[in-house]
Amino acid sequence: EDKVVQSPLSLVVHEGDTVTLNCSYEVTNFRSLLWYKQEKKAPTFLFMLTSSGIEKKSGRLSSILDKKELFSILNITATQTGDSAVYLCAVEAYSNTGKLIFGQGTTLQVKP
C-alpha cells in the first residue's frame, strides 16, 4: 500500500532557527511530490518536485527530492512566527493519477 511518512510530527523552535522537515514515501510508479503549508483551512502550495537532486527554492524555504532513497526535505531558514503551521507532504503516482497521498503533517511552532 502506498504510504507517506513525515517526521518529526511536531517541532518547537525559536525565531531565527533553521528547521528541516522530512518526508519519506513508499509509492509504486512515483510521479511527483508536493509540499503544502496549512495554517487554518486551505493548504497553501509550496513546491512540487519531480526530478531527483534538483532544489526548489522560494525565499527562506527550499526543498530537495531524493528519488533513490525515497525521501524529500523541506528547509526553512531564519524562521519567523509566521512560519508556524502544519506542513504537509503529498505524493502522486502514475498508477493513480489525480490522487494525492498525504503524510500526517509536521506541526511547526516558532516562538518569538
Q: How many residues bind other proteins (CB under 8 A)?
A: 25
**11-19, 56-64, 68-76, 101-109 -> range binding other proteins (CB under 8 A):** 101-109
Which secondary-structure segment (H or E) carries 47?
strand 43-49
Are the CB atoms for 45 and 34 separated by under 8 Å?
Answer: yes
* Touching other proteins, residues 15-54 (CB under 8 A): 31-32, 34, 36, 41-45, 48, 50
Pick the closer one to other proteins by CB: 4 or 19: 4
Under the binding rule (CB under 8 A), the answer on residue 72 touching other proteins is: no
Under the binding rule (CB under 8 A), the answer on residue 87 touching other proteins is: no
14: helix, strand or coil: strand
Where do we find the cell 507517506? 4
Give the integer Cα–Cα distance in Å for 98 and 96: 6
